[in-house]
Amino acid sequence: MGFYAELRDARQDNDALQRCIESVVDQLGNAADPTKPGMLLGKIQSGKTRAFLGVIARAFDRDFDIAIVLTKGTKTLASQTVKRIGRDFKRFIDDDLIVLFDIMSEPEALTKSELRRKIVIVAKKQVHNLARIQALFDEKYPELRSKRVLLVDDEADMASVRFSKKKGEDDFDQGAIANQMDHLRQSLSGIAFLQVTATPYALYLQPDSYEQSSQAKEIFFPKRPAFTVLLPIHDAYVGGEAYFGGWSADDPRYYLYVEVDEREHDALRSSDGRAIRGDRIWSSENIKILRRSLISFLLAVTIRRRQQIVLELRPQKYAMIIHNDTQRAAHTWQWETVNRITAAFEEAVENRDPRLRHVFDEALADLSRSVRANVGHLPDPDECFEDVCTLISDGELNVQRVNSDVQLEPLLDQETAELRLRTKANVFIGGSILDRGITVPNLIAFYYGRNPRRMQADTVLQHSRMYGARGADDLAVTRLYTSRGVYTRLSQIYALETALREAFESGAHDGGVVFLQSDASQGIVPCAPSKVSLSNVVAVRRNEILLPTGFDTISASRLARPVSRVDALVPDAAKGTQTFVGISVDDAIAIVEEIEPTLDLGDDNGFEWEALKGLLRYYAKNDGGRVLVLAEDGRRLDRARSGDRSGLSILGTTELRDLVREPTRRAPALILLKQVGGPELGWKAGPFWWPMLASPPQATSCVFATKVAT
């Protein structure tokens, strides 16, 4: 029996995963070209490690001799990877078929028999580690240079693509780690290169090859994948669709997101006593949602454990992450603040302080809606409150900082290398070390405050620890606490991720996604993916709705006149008839431009008016410059329920949804919903027009760049 056949049977890999692994190895083996990297594209926490270990085992069956696994540059992740490989490959290691070691802990001298075995080397992406790998082939064991090598770059966008202009020179520098990886690819004739990631944008947006001057000191090997294999999504996976898919109020996923005021995130960044005073733990607006999130987490733990007892299941332990900043000083301040809140909870339990019950009732009102939507068992509120009090008084709320390898290693389970849950309710406070590769089991609360304006889109996505395997009952009590701006950006990233994945699923690859850029002098033009700035993109799939959300109106004194102008521009035949009327794209743009100044998007909203207008023009070209317009009057949507970025719940009736998503429509559709608005519904003023662009059902997915990379 071969390596993979035995591993497959032991792990019980399903058919979809087997096909994925076979496809990767077939294409790697056939290409055998280090200048043509392959891509294993998965989702965040979707089983990528399991898949590439299967690829290594199958590659060993196909005459590969050595596998080098490069991990993100932390000792913890490298150690975790070694443990994971050791667990999956234990039988092969015990039977002297495979040698496994971290390059920083390599044996003093490999024996002749060990050199004849299959070899797996793990190294974190760090200069000294990669130098040791190169020396292993060049100096210690030159006989290995003739072997077939599989280089697996886990989290391939990390440190692998980082170009910067050299000071005073025309050439670019790609960084020491990328140079070392290229040198390894160049120096070993029998090497195949596999990139593994869930955030491939930086890689796909690279050119097929790099133009360099004849005086360039380094030759850059291609980073853009020559082929891509999608990792199948398992049934228990919860990803962006759950958080950003646009659900109605009768679906538990509707309640996943809880908005946090940006001022609260800012107050948790530095220890300013004026921002969070010790005598205002119960009343401070600067920790309002943090305070509630901790009680909600305890209540969620209580609900799930009671549900499990009813079903005669073993009650589980649960986790919450607070990831608000990268700085250790900020983590200490957050840790101190959370401990002050928990101390206040403990004192309230002891003294039966009614303020604890008030916060509990707020949490119960929130969680009960999603539990009922899930048709789950909701325990008696008084019993739940007593359980929460018991968790607090018994010290079951365990708060830990996780911001360095020294602090993280003792927190890991030695068997699984996951964060170990020591109590029934565990809160982990940290920064980037909690992102890639670190698995947090039973995570049901994520308080996230990192400011996305300072980071790449793929980095934001990697912080999304709320993705991963999760049962429906756990999901019903799960919450994501973040600002509207961060939520909007995460939603945009999800749209981009989904558009790219659908292109690969369709088999179209580059032909399946159109990259567009906005150019003031030339209008909307196609562009090379490598010209797109990741931080300013709007991705729209076929039959998808693009619309502003999270806005307010301008004041009543300024609103009436532009609204009346829109009234005049919209054809009467399109008003209230649920019938599309064709107009020119210029007329459609004129309507949008009248509406634009009436909606106050605020700061960091993320919606791009230029993208809406640009995509209208692009899609209209495919139907003779025509746009279909439809208008509805008398809408009474409450502002508190206006954040559905999918637009489906905002459209309202099933009839209107079906009309908008009618599969034969070729032209773009501009849907205009005239809202009553006004303070009674939470809006500053009213009435106002709310525009939506519905892309054609047969259109190609588009990535629209409002800014172009320079």
Residue 654 has pLDDT above 80, yes or no: yes
Question: C-alpha angle 306/307/308, rounded to 5°?
Answer: 90
Residues 6+ apart with CB under 8 A from 319: 419, 421, 426, 427, 428, 440, 441, 442, 443, 444, 445
Q: Partners of 648 in the beta sheet? A: none
> Which is higher by pLDDT, 172 or 29?
29
Is residue 233 a contact partner of residue 21, using CB atoms and an 8 Å limit? no
Is residue 595 a contact partner of residue 691, using CB atoms and an 8 Å limit? yes
Residue ranges and CATH numbers for the domains of the chain are 3-230 (3.40.50.300), 254-459+466-484 (no CATH), 506-705 (no CATH)
Residue 233 has pLDDT above 90, yes or no: no
Distances in whole angstroms, Cα of residue 11 to Cα of each of 6, 17, 54, 680:
9, 11, 10, 58
Distances in whole angstroms, Cα of residue 204 to Cα of each of 83, 208, 502:
31, 9, 14
Cβ atoms < 10 Å from Cβ of 670: 27
Residue 384 has pLDDT above 80, yes or no: yes
SS3 612: helix
Q: In whole angstroms, give the CA distance from residue 55 to residue 360.
A: 49
Write down the pLDDT at residue 79. 78
* Segment 668-680 mean pLDDT: 96
What percent of the chain is modeled with pLDDT above 70? Answer: 83
Q: In whole angstroms, give the CA distance from residue 53 to residue 395.
A: 40
Q: In whole angstroms, give the CA distance from residue 244 to residue 482.
A: 13
Write down the pLDDT at residue 174. 47
Of 593, 608, 676, nearest to 642 by C-alpha is: 676
Of 114, 32, 126, nearest to 74 by C-alpha is: 126
Write down the pLDDT at residue 402. 82
Is residue 115 a contact partner of residue 144, using CB atoms and an 8 Å limit? yes
Structure tokens belonging to residue 209: 């090859």
Distances in whole angstroms, Cα of residue 35 to Cα of each of 97, 220, 226, 435, 528:
30, 10, 9, 30, 20
* Segment 132-158 mean pLDDT: 91
Is residue 476 a contact partner of residue 376, using CB atoms and an 8 Å limit? yes
Residue 165 has pLDDT above 50, yes or no: no
| Residue 226 pLDDT grade (very low, low, confident, very high; cuts 50, 70, 90) | confident
Q: In whole angstroms, give the CA distance from residue 505 to residue 51.
A: 18
SS3 553: strand
The residue with tokens 């034969």 is: 664
The pTM of the whole model exceeds 0.85: no
Of 294, 301, 272, nearest to 344 by C-alpha is: 294
Q: In whole angstroms, give the CA distance from residue 354 to residue 24.
A: 60
Residue 213 has pLDDT above 70, yes or no: no
Is residue 465 a contact partner of residue 443, using CB atoms and an 8 Å limit? yes
Q: In whole angstroms, give the CA distance from residue 33 to residue 514.
A: 28
Model confidence pLDDT, tens digit, residues 467-490: 888 899 999 999 999 988 888 778
Model confidence pLDDT, tens digit, residues 601-651: 987 777 889 889 989 998 998 788 999 999 999 999 999 888 887 888 899
| Residue 219 pLDDT grade (very low, low, confident, very high; cuts 50, 70, 90) | very low
Q: Partners of 321 in the beta sheet? A: 428, 446
Using the 8-state DSSP alphabet, how is residue 366 labeled? Answer: H
